[in-house]
Amino acid sequence: MVNRAHHHDEFEKNQFLGKELQHFSQAGFDLDRIHIRRNAPVASLYEEAIMNEGAVISSNGALINFSGKKTGRSPKDKRIVFEDSSKDEIWWGPVNIKMDEHTFEINRERAIDYLNTRDNVYVFDGYAGWDPKYRIKVRVIASRAYHALFMNNMLIRPTPEELADFGEPDFIIYNAGQFPANRFTAGMTSTTSVEINFRRMEMVILGTEYAGEMKKGIFSVMHYLQPVKFGQLSLHSSANQAKSSEGQEEGDVTLFFGLSGTGKTTLSADPNRLLIGDDEHVWSDTGVFNIEGGCYAKTINLSADKEPEIFGAIRFGSILENVVYNPADRKPDYDDVSITENTRCAYPIEYIPNAKIPCIANRQPSNIIMLTCDAFGVLPPVSRLTPEQASYHFVAGYTSKTPGTEDGILEPSPTFSTCYGQPFIVLHPGRYAKMLAERMEKTKADCWLINTGWTGGKFGTGKRCPLKYTRAIVDAIHNGSLAKAEFENFPIFNLAIPKAVEGVPSEILSPEKVWPSKQAFQSEVEKLGGMFQKAFAKYEDAIGEDVKNAGPVFA
């Protein structure tokens, strides 16, 4: 137990109102034993993470934490409870594995029993969703100060008044990640378990301390609630908005879709634009809003030079995860991947200088950008999509998995991750695709496919499209010049490739020209086209003919 000054103790106890405490005893918390610390000050979470969890303060002021054995998500251990209120809505399958209600009860009890053995139990109450019409109140209950601080950064932080009136949460996370699941419990296949129960509106985490499970867990909840309860479209995307500068139309909104590692966070942090959010959004009837109150950036090879906004956001209050530091001066070494390639920083969104607070735009998007990280080096750095092609690519979700974000992924591996976020969707992909198509049709947004991955050859031979060129492409979309470009056809996929983009060498725009041999290129394009067809076939029945016809066509 930390030897805190007495007045700190009293202050923090008073953060909880009597009525709130009742919820905890009803849930089985032993209030005579444990000390509940609700929305504790960031500084005190620092202290306790340092004293009890091996965290250290880095030279930039951020808190470096370690998540233990699991340094990425565990998709094979993520389950949804099979129960009457939600069972007919859920897309059961590899990403939404069934769990019975009884097993959930056992794991929930196990989590609470473990939390009852602690001196301190950390609670964070906050919101998910910046639009008050569609937001939910989330309570996180965790055994580690690190996890409370992480969600302090990632959820929307309530004002003191909102906290005083918080009342009952809409959703609760029980995070006992330090304690394993019991392998003799029916349905458990490992010591890790991440599970959501939509009847109880609860999530239980056992056997993984990777903090990203919590933020992506809430995202799954929103992927259920937004379409089903609110009729709104949740998306794995970042979003930003034009300031009144540089030929951009003031206020125009761009969505960047993409699986992990494709560039949502990097490209949405743009000095010329206001950041709405880096990862989870809802395209509502009235505009776009962020689900989160913070960002979760990758820090692998991070430099102040290439990514100044993100680099500058790493300071007091930010959480660095699994980042190696130099003991002599406590400087983080972002090039060191000896713990994992999935090193991260979680910071409150206002740490980005151009953040738009509240993170909401009462305006429909003008540009939809689909980010793909092509490990085959076949797709062009940028192409223009028809609305049908945009729907096709959204459903196919072609990209690569980034090393480290999921347990067991060691190098960029090609995948078809439907909706550019298969691990997080809860309903059939066709339902999100239909809502997206309706919204694109209504707003007539321009659609683009950007390959932030390899160009001119496969992973291992070609090279990743330099960030400065991708940024130049995004600038050309935003200043309207790309829409006016001359286009040529990209074979088989029938994508429109611009012949020139300001700031980008023309020869890289057409992959055919950078590939060592025309024949090798042709055969890789065909191979990839075939992979698309096979991946799309799974969803064909739920998607219209016009969209199906927008995919690769072999002469």
Ligand X SMILES: C=C(OP(=O)(O)O)C(=O)O
**Residue 154 is inside which H or E element, if any?**
helix 145-154
Residue among 543, 542, 538 nearest 93 (CA): 538
**Number of shown-chain residues binding ligand X (CB under 6 A):** 9
- Residue 212, interface with ligand X (CB under 6 A)? yes
- Residue 298, interface with ligand ADP (CB under 6 A)? yes
Of the candidates 135, 264, 298, 439, the residue annotated as catalytic is: 264
Which position among 65, 240, 266, 366 is part of the footprint of ligand ADP (CB under 6 A)? 266
Distance from C-alpha of 524 to C-alpha of 454, rounded to nearest angstrom: 13
Q: DSSP 3-state assignment of 25?
A: helix
Terminal CA-CA length for the chain: 71
- Residue 281, interface with ligand X (CB under 6 A)? no
Stretch that binds ligand X, among 190-198, 259-267, 351-359, 467-475 (CB under 6 A): 259-267
- Residue 342, interface with ligand ADP (CB under 6 A)? no
- Residue 467, interface with ligand ADP (CB under 6 A)? yes
Of the candidates 67, 220, 237, 260, the residue annotated as catalytic is: 260
Which position among 24, 127, 198, 296 is part of the footprint of ligand X (CB under 6 A)? 296
- Residue 322, interface with ligand ADP (CB under 6 A)? no
Distance from C-alpha of 88 to C-alpha of 95, rounded to nearest angstrom: 16
Q: Which is nearer to ligand X, 107 or 343 (CB)?
A: 343
Reading the block at residue 425, the tokens are 């969707």
- Residue 345, interface with ligand ADP (CB under 6 A)? no
What are the backbone angles phi and psi of residue 255, rounded to the nearest 5°? -105, 135
Distance in Å, CB of 225 to Mn ion, minimum:
22
Q: For this structure, is 216 an active site residue?
A: yes
Tell me the residue type at 6.
Answer: H
| Residue 537: partners with Cβ closer than 8 Å, 6 or more residues away | none
| Residue 88: partners with Cβ closer than 8 Å, 6 or more residues away | none
Of the candidates 70, 135, 216, 223, the residue annotated as catalytic is: 216
Reading the block at residue 366, the tokens are 């003008």
Q: What are residue 136's DSSP bridge partners?
A: 128
Q: Segment 53-82, which members bind ligand X (CB under 6 A)?
A: 73
Q: Which is nearer to ligand X, 197 or 238 (CB)?
A: 238
- Residue 341, interface with ligand X (CB under 6 A)? no
Distance in Å, CB of 263 to ligand ADP, minimum:
3
Reading the block at residue 172, the tokens are 């609760």
Give buried/exposed letters for 109-137 (b at 16+ CB in 10 A, else e). ebbbebbeebebbbbbbbbbbbbeebbbb
Q: For this structure, is 260 an active site residue?
A: yes
Which position among 20, 48, 195, 279 is part of the footprint of ligand X (CB under 6 A)? 279
Q: State the CB neighbour count (10 A cutoff) for residue 165.
A: 10
Q: Segment 44-73, which members bind ligand ADP (CB under 6 A)?
A: none
Which residues in this chain contact Mn ion in the complex, by CB under 5 A?
A: 264-265, 279
Q: What are residue 161's DSSP bridge partners?
A: none
Residue among 138, 140, 143, 148 nearest 177 (CA): 143
Stretch that binds ligand ADP, among 195-203, 262-270, 431-439, 517-525 (CB under 6 A): 262-270
Q: In this structure, are strands 495-498 and 487-490 parallel, antiparallel, or unpaired?
A: antiparallel
- Residue 215, interface with ligand ADP (CB under 6 A)? no
Q: Which residue blocks in 42-191 are alpha helix, DSSP H? A: 42-53, 101-116, 145-154, 160-164
Which DSSP category does 208 fall into? Answer: -
- Chain residue at closest Cβ approach to ligand ADP: 263
Q: What are residue 21's DSSP bridge partners?
A: none
- Residue 299, interface with ligand X (CB under 6 A)? no
Which position among 65, 262, 417, 455 is part of the footprint of ligand ADP (CB under 6 A)? 262
Q: For this structure, is 279 an active site residue?
A: yes
- Chain residue at closest Cβ approach to ligand X: 260
- Residue 405, interface with ligand X (CB under 6 A)? yes
User: Is the separation of the CB atoms in 400 and 483 below 8 Å?
Assistant: no
Chain residues in the site for ligand X (CB under 6 A): 73, 212, 216, 260-261, 264, 279, 296, 405
Chain residues in the site for ligand ADP (CB under 6 A): 258, 260-267, 278, 297-298, 300, 452, 464-465, 467, 470
Q: Where in the sequence numbering do the catalytic residues fall?
A: 73, 216, 236, 260, 264-265, 279, 344
